Amino acid sequence: MEPSYSNKLDERKRVFVFDTTLRDGEQAAGVSLNPKQKLKIALQLERLGVDVIEGGFPASNEEDFRALEMISKNLTGPAICAFGRATKGDIEECAKALENAKKKRIHLFLATSKLHLDAKLKKTEEQALEMIYNGVSYARTFVDEIEFTPEDGSRTDLDYLFKVVRTAYDAGARIINIADTVGYCQPSEMYERVKKVRKKFSEEINSGKMSLSVHCHNDMGQAVSNSLQGILAGATQFEGTILGMGERTGNASLEEVIAALETRGDFYQTYTNIQTEEIYRTAKLVSKLTGIEIPINKPLLGKNASRHESGIHQHGVLANPKTYEVVDPKSVGWEGERFCIGKHSGKHIKEYLRAQRRGVFGQLKNYFFGKAIVTEGL
Ligand code: MN
């Protein structure tokens, strides 16, 4: 069976998309999805074309376990991933929840920064390595595809991080996920860190036995940039969530990373398996089921993402949308009104509208007509 990861360095690099909306996304404070809702989202993610769906943290609660079971039974495309600590109990729950999945992956994590080891785990670096080795080896007895994440990897001492990666790999992990768990890294640092890991393990990576992933958080608004830098530095997988949902200020917005990779394929030299026209529908579904609203200025998805009010921009877009839109709204399935008539509008949009329906607009406010909203008299 074809694995759901790769590190092939073809001319145009295939980037594998790992969706964690149902795990890290759901960990957003105040968000809770029941198994049926998770299945609904998972089916839409399958239509979107993601490569891996992380459905939950089965050892943490019964509902996540059931959701993973349902997703495993009903999906055939993406790999289904269960998340857990590097402990016997967690691994067994992951394996059980994934029993019926066609393609499966267990994703284990352990914090590796000095701060987390001392303050949270009260473990020495040596003890942590032992836990990683034992955990990954045990998980391998159930599932072939194991991903390991050094939690807080961006604040982990680099030499120790190398030992962690070596240990996880030796125990059988094939996907190594460099996590910027608290959104600490700056983009060029993320690039450097991934590059250094890539260089250190070039033999394993070039021979196809190890692949790198990045997992970035948005505490300083840089999750998308950091993910893209990771990809430029050699990661062939990134992890993200729909709408950038997740712990605190969230994860990398899956759709924004994809938009950059697809729209600027010339720059990144990458491609994905994503059906971009499904992006808007996916986001609407996630928004509806989680209650998280889509901000008006959200890239790709917000009401204003492809809406223009000022006269010069309206003139440009009427002549050729590419003048002011780098992402074709149709390409992401965006729905909305293209033009807003306000005090910044000029004669071109008015002529355009009059040509379509003469004389009606003079008296109307907030009038929706085709692709325009009239917010004041013309
Ligand atoms: Mn996370």
- Tens of pLDDT, residues 127-180: 999 999 999 999 999 999 999 999 999 999 999 999 999 999 999 999 999 999
What number is the average pLDDT over the span 246-262? 97
- Tell me how far the alpha carbon of residue 67 lies from the centroid of ligand 1, in angstroms: 19
Positive or negative CA dihedral for 372, 318, 363, 342? positive
Positive or negative torsion for Cα 262, 251, 56, 142: positive
Instruction: Compute the distance from residue 82 Cα to the ligand 1 centre, in Å.
Output: 14
Ligand 1 centre to CA of 233 (Å) is 20
User: How far does residue 254's CA lie from ligand 1's centre (Å)?
Assistant: 13
Residues 93 and 86: beta-carbon distance below 8 Å:
no
Residue 376, pLDDT above cutoff 60: no
- Band (pLDDT 50/70/90 cuts) for residue 11 is low
Tokens for 302? 């917000």
240 Cα to the center of ligand 1, angstroms = 9
Average pLDDT of the residues in 287-296: 96
Which residues touch 117 (CB under 8 Å, ≥6 apart)? 111, 123, 124, 125, 128
| C-alpha–C-alpha distance, residues 289 and 295, integer Å | 16
CA–centroid distance, residue 182 to ligand 1 (Å): 8
Instruction: Report the separation in Å between the CA atom of 266 and the middle of ligand 1, taken as the mean of its atom positions.
Output: 30
The answer to whether the pTM exceeds 0.95 is no
Measured in Å, residue 224 CA sits from the centre of ligand 1 at 13
CA dist., res. 136 & res. 373, Å (int): 56
Residue 302 has pLDDT above 60, yes or no: yes
What does R_g of the chain's alpha carbons equal in angstroms? 23
By 3-state DSSP, what share of the chain in percent is helix, strand and coil, each rounded to 5? 45, 15, 35
Average pLDDT over residues 183-202: 98
CA 65 to centroid of chain Cα atoms: 22
* The pLDDT of residue 335: 87
Residues 6+ apart with CB under 8 A from 229: 187, 188, 190, 191, 194
The Cα-based distances of 284 to 52, 181, 375 in angstroms read 20, 26, 25
DSSP 296: T
Question: Tens of pLDDT along 352-364?
Answer: 777 666 444 444 3
User: What's the gap in Å between 247 CA and the centre of ligand 1?
Assistant: 7
Residue 168 CA to ligand 1 center (angstroms) comes to 19
3-state secondary structure of 147: strand
CA–centroid distance, residue 110 to ligand 1 (Å): 12
Q: In the prediction, which pLDDT does 323 show? A: 93
Distance in Å, CA 25 to ligand 1 centroid: 8
- Distance in Å, CA 24 to ligand 1 centroid: 6
pLDDT band at residue 317 under the 50/70/90 scheme:
confident
Task: List, for residues 320-357, the tens digit of each pLDDT value.
Answer: 889 999 999 999 999 888 888 877 888 888 787 776 66
Distance (angstroms) between ligand 1 centre and the Cα of 84 equals: 12
E strand or H helix at 216 = strand 211-216
Cα of 151 from ligand 1 centre, angstroms: 8
Residue type at position 199: K
Domains and CATH numbers, the chain: 11-290 (3.20.20.70), 311-364 (no CATH)
Give residue 48 CA to ligand 1 midpoint distance, Å. Answer: 22
> What distance in angstroms lies between residue 77's CA and the mean position of ligand 1's atoms?
24
What is the dihedral sign for C-alpha 286, 292, 293, 299? Answer: negative
Query: Which residue in this structure is represented by tokens 């607009």?
Result: 361
Q: What is the pLDDT of residue 256?
A: 98
pLDDT, average across residues 254-282: 96
pLDDT value at residue 345:
84
The average confidence (pLDDT) of the chain is 92
Look at residue 364 in the predicted model and tell me its pLDDT. 39
Give tens-digit pLDDT for 90-117: 999 999 999 999 999 999 999 999 999 9
